[in-house]
Structure 1
């Protein structure tokens, strides 16, 4: 088995402890089915060109330059060496700034996951101390480092024999929830409805197992390619009709009955004493 290739190597600084570590990709889309654009008539793969929209002529690489748009069709040109000066200098230090209870970590800020492992046998003891201290305290370490040409925040947590580090979205990158939720009306829900919904939840409790989540698109595309190679006729699948919206209470009661256990009894209104 080929050893994993580190994306980054440096030192994890935990107080006065400095531990050599390596960062490995935790999730990748490289195994997904991908397509190339080809010429329908010749079967040749197409190449992408940058074309000047006014002259309609392709622009060679040596004449291409990055530009920041300040107004419609007006740009500030920025040279490659000028951009290079804006890249922060890396000291290869993953510096821990604070520790946050895991329950208080807002996963909305999580970007990409990475595995963090010690580099060399001599780093194993310090790494284990950091890992077990985080696990025992049930906290994540908020750290910063220059990664991939940018100064980034990371949330580091104990997992198994190693650590998991998520790069963090910057605050300006995370959209406000109020924009998405502002049109949701405030409703008073009957307690029986909530009890029925809780019963459905209790009857379907399980464990998180990513292997049970099938990528149906990937599987369908793979089958499509196999069928095309075999010369089979491709038939369009039947259109799935959207479910009809019915009475909410009836739907909850029917769902609760399917759970395998009797649903909670209906609440009876108590008569007031005369």
Structure 2
């Protein structure tokens, strides 16, 4: 079953425009979710807005947005005023320029989406732009009004389509300088640096998202299954307390352990290759 498009519009480059659809690149729908219940009755409860002073529930038609301009003083914004202030939505992602794929720091990445052409009219144009970007190894920087907000969008070629990331605005991204401001400058040289490099070499790998487990969600799912089946709920063992050890001693032990692990991985690969060769001969 094809995924449902979350947005449809046009991709525009200069005078060239063609229809596209946006599909959510990530979802939380498969996570374990809960409802809030009344412990006494077992019934679901619902949320409602309550007046802070009177304690009475406020009907939806009486609810209005307000901006706090001072202590307990608010500027009321009517729905039509908010709607009129939102940038005009022409349902178009306008490509402003092309930049190197690695030029945008990942801290600016917000939400991922997939972009595909809709209908036969724009398929060729879409393919030409995508393939040109791939050959030049560039990303497209564009602007659009998405879901009632003006957004900057970064588009990159991905297989037969494009992957897009909405970008955080500069004022939304915190400065790394502020976070690292109090870290001292330490000059690392000699055996300590050599050991660190060795550990990194022995721990080289590849990014495989399938290898990462959502242990929190798995634990919740197992908890639910155990209660449904009336099984005893086994509590996980508490993690061992982390001990502070001598840095050089820890690096040496890590390098030794990493070397053994690397040898095991290589032996496993050789064994797998040999088995594969035997199967081919047998065939």
TM-score (norm 1): 0.91
Counterpart residue number, 2:216: 217
Measure, in 2, the Cα distance between the counterparts of 1:76 and 1:238.
Answer: 53
Counterpart residue number, 1:270: none
- 2:250 match: secondary structure: helix
RMSD over equivalenced CA pairs, Å: 1.7
- 2:163 match: secondary structure: strand
CA contact (8 A) 1:256 1:262 kept: no
Counterpart residue number, 2:235: 236
Q: Does 1:73 align with 2:72?
A: yes
Measure, in 1, the Cα distance between the counterparts of 2:113 and 2:156.
Answer: 11
**Cα displacement (A) at 1:103:** 2.2
**Cα displacement (A) at 1:235:** 4.2
Counterpart residue number, 1:17: 16
Measure, in 2, the Cα distance between the counterparts of 1:262 and 1:204.
Answer: 8
Counterpart residue number, 2:3: 4
Superposition map of 1:149-164 within 5 A: 149-164=148-163
Measure, in 2, the Cα distance between the counterparts of 1:220 and 1:262.
Answer: 28
Counterpart residue number, 2:252: 253
Q: In structure 2, do the counterparts of structure 1 residues 57 and 232 end up closer, same or farther at CA, with 3 Å as the change threshold?
A: same
Residues 56-112 of structure 1: per-residue CA shift (max 9 Å, x gap): 111122221111111121111111111111111211221111111112221110100
Q: In structure 2, do the counterparts of structure 1 residues 34 and 261 end up closer, same or farther at CA, with 3 Å as the change threshold?
A: closer
CA contact (8 A) 1:14 1:130 kept: no
Measure, in 2, the Cα distance between the counterparts of 1:24 and 1:106.
Answer: 23
Superposition map of 1:1-274 within 5 A: 2-260=1-259
**Cα displacement (A) at 1:261:** 6.5
Residues 153-201 of structure 1: per-residue CA shift (max 9 Å, x gap): 0000011111001001011110111221112111121332222111111
Measure, in 1, the Cα distance between the counterparts of 2:261 and 2:105.
Answer: 37
Measure, in 2, the Cα distance between the counterparts of 1:217 and 1:262.
Answer: 27
Counterpart residue number, 2:279: none
CA contact (8 A) 1:118 1:124 kept: yes
| Greater helix proportion | 2
**Cα displacement (A) at 1:214:** 0.1
CA contact (8 A) 1:155 1:167 kept: yes
| Structure 2 runs not aligned, ≥5 long | 263-283
**Cα displacement (A) at 1:35:** 0.9
CA contact (8 A) 2:18 2:121 kept: no
Greater Cα shift, 214-223 or 29-38: 29-38
CA contact (8 A) 1:4 1:24 kept: yes
Measure, in 1, the Cα distance between the counterparts of 2:59 and 2:119.
Answer: 46
Measure, in 2, the Cα distance between the counterparts of 1:47 and 1:82.
Answer: 29
- 1:5 match: secondary structure: coil
**Cα displacement (A) at 1:262:** 11
Count how many residue pairs are aligned between Structure 1 and Structure 2.
262
**Cα displacement (A) at 1:121:** 2.1
- 1:21 match: secondary structure: strand
Residues 235-259 of structure 1: per-residue CA shift (max 9 Å, x gap): 4333213311111111111111122
